[in-house]
Amino acid sequence: MNWLERLFSKTSLATILAVILQAAIFGFRHSYDLSARSITVGIIGLIMGIAYVAFGRNLWPLITAHCVLNTMSMLGRVT
């Protein structure tokens, strides 16, 4: 996301574009097609991108959230 932001000149609009673009890439890379899963994961990526900016670009809260989401997903499949 930081690379995309620098590419777009590091303005507020660049930050918005970088968050949206990284969410789209994140969603696509998790399913490789335009499906309900890629859209859902893209929305999660959008929320995480916004949180990344809101938390002052601190990855630790997002790493924790990602682990919790993955754990919940795995436990949901087991039951």
Domain boundaries, the chain: 2-78
* 79 pLDDT above the threshold of 60: no
Distance CA 65, CA 69 (A): 6
> Could you tell me what percent of the chain has a pLDDT over 90?
43
Quick: pLDDT tens for 3-37: 887 887 878 888 899 999 999 998 888 777 788 88
Supply the pTM of this predicted model: 0.78
Distance CA 61, CA 78 (A): 26
- What is the DSSP code (8-state) at residue 33? S
